[in-house]
Amino acid sequence: MGYAEIEEISEDETLLKEEVHRFAEEVIRPASIEIDRMPLNEYPEKVVKKDSPYWRVLKEWKKLGYHRGPVPEMFGGEGLPARMVHILVEEVAWGSSGFSIAFGVDLFPILFTAPTFDEYLNETFVKPWLEDDRAKYHGCWGVTEPEHGSDWLLGCDFVLEDDRPERERITPGQVTAKKDGDEWIINGAKSSWISSAPVATHVALHVNLDLAKRSVGGGCVVPLDSPGVTKGKPIAKYGQKDCPQGELAFEDVRIPGVYMTLEPEALHPSTGLMSMDQILCVTSSWMAASSTGLARAAFEEALKYSKERIQGGRPICEHQLVRKKLFEMFVKVETARAYSRRIMEHVWRELFEKFTFKASYRHALAAQVYCKRIAYEVADDALQIFGGYGITDDFLIQKLYRDARVKLIEDGTVEVLSLEGAGDLIRNY
Ligand SMILES: Cc1cc2nc3c(=O)[nH]c(=O)nc-3n(C[C@H](O)[C@H](O)[C@H](O)COP(=O)(O)OP(=O)(O)OC[C@H]3O[C@@H](n4cnc5c(N)ncnc54)[C@H](O)[C@@H]3O)c2cc1C
Q: State the CATH number of the domain containing residue 94.
A: 1.10.540.10
For residue 4, being part of any structural domain is answered with: no
**What's the mean per-residue pLDDT of the chain?**
91
Q: Is 143 in the pocket of ligand 1 (CB under 6 A)?
A: yes
pLDDT tens by residue, 167-179:
444 455 789 999 8
Q: Is 415 in the pocket of ligand 1 (CB under 6 A)?
A: yes
Flag whether pLDDT at 377 surpasses 50. Answer: yes
For residue 283, being part of any structural domain is answered with: yes
Number of domains in the chain: 3
Q: What is the pLDDT of residue 427?
A: 84
Which of 416, 417, 419, 420 is the pocket-test mutation for ligand 1 (most atoms within 8 Å of CB)?
Answer: 416
Comparing CA positions, the residue from 138, 114, 29, 71 lying closest to residue 400 is 29
- Are 157 and 225 contained in the same domain? yes
State phi, psi for 140 to the nearest 5 degrees. -145, 175
Q: Which of 131, 166, 200 is the endpoint of a domain? A: 131
Q: Is 70 in the pocket of ligand 1 (CB under 6 A)?
A: no
Q: Indicate which residue's Cα is closest to atom 53 of ligand 1.
A: 410
Q: Report the atom number in ligand 1 closest to the C-alpha of 415.
A: 47
Q: 139 - beta bridge partners?
A: 202
Range of the domain at 78: 11-131
Q: Is 416 in the pocket of ligand 1 (CB under 6 A)?
A: yes
- Are 343 and 371 contained in the same domain? yes
CA distance 215 to 235: 28
Least confident of 124-128, 144-148, 263-267: 263-267
Q: Indicate which residue's Cα is closest to atom 42 of ligand 1.
A: 416
Which of 193, 237, 365 is the pocket-test mutation for ligand 1 (most atoms within 8 Å of CB)?
Answer: 193
Q: Indicate which residue's Cα is closest to atom 52 of ligand 1.
A: 410
Average pLDDT estimate for 375-387: 98
Average pLDDT estimate for 201-227: 83
DSSP state of 24: I
CA distance 122 to 228: 25
- Are 286 and 331 contained in the same domain? yes
Q: Report the atom number in ligand 1 closest to the C-alpha of 190.
A: 11
